[in-house]
Every structure is written in structure tokens, then in C-alpha cells.
């Protein structure tokens, strides 16, 4: 665009930029004020640092655990379990949704079961999983899957069904089969849905994994939280929560990036 912008357009763009700037500053400010207030409150003994921890104590704990390497063990465990269960959720979710789409009768038969399983609080299953599968990573991964998988199947299946029937008809007019409909219309046409479902589910997997770690783990951030609360090492607890926040943000951000990349292509 080599043409010169008009004054009003320039003003408009400048206003837009200023607004963006204000939003960014406000975001950072809220965080900084929160940290400062927390730290001050502990230093001035308004609240008890032993129970409420403080930013500096969290930072110290983090640094200490970084030095002895234990932070990597716990974070790595939680992260890898989350990623494994997420990958399985995506695979199982797509597979099951395709199966339901292939057989409308099957989907009608299974619908009440899916509804019940989806609305069941999955944390109720975690103790059972530990008993059945043992206190190991397997049950933690299954716990992660259990939280996300039913919603994924239902969302994807609904998305498949909402595909424009005329687009499906088009495939049949070109002598295609149901298989062609799946590969040429349903799957490529629901990529945006798949990406948005994935964005929600990576967070759900993390929830499931932490629940699993609460009851059946020897490592991981969920374990650290439970153990920390039991031995009154609340610095551990708060630091674990902070790390979980960062992980959740990071995973969501990565998927958001993939989504934008895919939408542009």
C-alpha cells in the first residue's frame, strides 16, 4: 500500500493502537499490583506467610527445586501425562465420532450412555481407577482421558452431523461413497471445530491428570500439591499451582497458534 492514508484514517489507526496499548498495560498492572500487595501483606504480617506463602517464598522454592532438579521431575511427569492423555483423547474422540457418524443407529443406541458419562463428575471415577489399574501412570493418564473424551466425542459427532447436507449430496452426485463423504467433506470441513475442541480439551486433560495425581502418584504437580498440603509446606502448593497456570497457558497458547496457522493456510 503505497498510497498515503487520510488524516482521519491515521487518527483512527492511532486510536486503535492506543487502545491496545492501554489494555496491555492494564493487564500487566493488575498482575504487578497483585504480587506487590501479596508480598507487602505477608511482610507487614497482615496475613500469615506460613499459610499464604508469598511471591518471594514461591520464587525461592522454585529456585531451590530448580537447583536440585525436582521441579523438572514433577513438571515433566504432569506435562507428559497430560500430553499423552490429550493425544489419546484426540485419537479416540475422532475414531468414536466417525464410528457414530457411520452408523446413525449405533449413535442413537449409545446416546443416553454418552450423555450420562459426559455429565458424570469424572473426579468420582479417579479412586476407582486407582484401585483397578493401580497407583501408576496408567491410571493417571486414564483419569485425564476420562475427563475429556466424552465431551470430545459428542462435540465432534454433533459437528459431523451439522455438515451441510447439500455438500454431502454433491459427493454422491459425483459418484462418491460414504467413505468419500467422510474423507472429502466431513473431516476436512470440521478441522476448525476439531481445533477449537482440542483447545478446550487440553485444559480438561490437565484437570484429569491433576485429579489422578492427587490420589495415586509419587510425582507430578498434583502429588506435590497434596503432599505439600499434608506436611504444611504451602510454598510447594502455591508454587505448583503457579506452574500449573503457566502450563495451562502455554498449552492453550500453542494450540491457539496451531489454530491460527491452520486457518490462514
Partner 1 sequence: MKPLLELQNVSYAYHSKSGETYALTDISFQVQRGEFIAVTGPSGCGKSTLLSLISGLLAPESGTILYEGQEKTKPDGKIGYMLQKDHLFEWRTIYGNVTLGLEIQHSLDEAARQRVDRMLKEYGLYRFRDARPSELSGGMRQRAALIRTLAPGPELLLLDEPFSALDFQTRLSVCDDVSQILKKEKKTALLVTHDLSEAVSMADRILVLTKRPARIHSVVEPEFAQEGLTPLERRNTPEFKNYFNLLWKELNAYGN
Under the rule (CB under 8 A), what is the footprint of partner 1? 164, 166-167, 169-176, 180, 184-185, 188-189, 191
Nearer to partner 1, 55 or 176 (CB): 176
Q: Between 94 and 154, whose beta carbon lies closer to partner 1?
A: 94
String of b and e for 195-228 (b: at least 16 CB within 10 Å)? bebbbebbbbbbbbbbbbbbbbbebbbbbbbbbb
Cβ 190 vs Cβ 246: under 8 Å? no
How many distinct helices (H) and strands (E) make up the chain?
13, 0
Nearer to partner 1, 96 or 185 (CB): 185
Sign of the alpha-carbon torsion through 206, 208, 211, 217: negative
Nearer residue to partner 1 within complex by CB, 254 or 263: 263
Nearest to 228 by CA among 120, 88, 70: 70
Q: Whole-number minimum distance, CB 174 to partner 1, in Å?
A: 4
DSSP 8-state class, residue 120: S
**What's the min distance (Å) between Cβ of 188 and partner 1?**
5
Least CB distance to partner 1 at residue 162 (A) = 15
Amino acid at each position: 500500500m503505497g498510497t498515503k492514508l487520510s488524516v482521519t484514517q491515521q487518527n483512527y489507526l492511532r486510536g486503535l493502537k492506543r487502545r491496545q496499548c492501554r489494555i496491555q498495560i492494564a493487564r500487566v498492572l493488575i498482575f504487578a499490583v497483585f504480587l506487590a500487595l501479596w508480598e507487602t501483606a505477608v511482610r507487614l504480617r497482615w496475613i500469615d506467610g506460613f499459610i499464604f506463602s508469598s511471591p518471594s517464598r514461591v520464587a525461592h522454592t522454585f529456585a531451590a527445586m530448580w537447583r536440585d532438579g525436582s521441579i523438572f521431575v514433577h513438571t515433566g511427569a504432569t506435562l507428559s501425562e497430560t500430553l499423552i492423555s490429550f493425544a489419546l483423547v484426540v485419537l479416540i474422540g475422532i475414531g468414536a465420532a466417525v464410528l457414530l457418524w457411520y452408523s446413525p443407529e449405533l449413535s442413537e443406541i449409545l446416546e443416553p450412555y454418552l450423555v450420562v458419562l459426559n455429565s458424570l463428575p469424572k473426579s468420582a471415577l479417579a479412586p476407582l481407577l486407582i484401585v483397578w489399574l493401580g497407583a501408576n501412570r496408567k491410571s493417571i493418564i486414564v483419569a485425564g482421558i476420562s475427563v475429556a473424551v466424552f465431551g470430545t466425542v459428542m462435540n465432534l459427532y454433533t459437528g459431523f452431523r451439522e455438515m451441510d447436507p447439500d455438500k454431502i449430496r454433491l459427493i454422491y452426485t459425483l459418484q462418491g461413497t460414504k467413505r468419500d463423504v467422510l474423507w472429502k467433506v466431513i473431516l476436512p470441513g470440521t478441522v476448525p471445530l476439531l481445533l477449537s475442541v482440542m483447545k478446550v480439551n487440553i485444559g480438561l486433560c490437565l484437570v484429569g491428570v491433576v485429579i489422578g495425581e492427587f490420589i495415586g502418584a509419587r510425582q507430578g504437580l498434583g502429588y506435590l500439591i497434596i503432599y505439600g498440603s499434608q506436611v504444611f509446606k504451602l510454598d510447594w502448593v502455591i508454587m505448583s499451582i503457579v506452574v500449573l497456570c503457566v502450563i495451562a497457558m502455554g498449552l492453550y497458547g500453542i494450540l491457539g497458534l496451531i489454530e491460527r496457522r491452520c486457518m490462514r493456510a
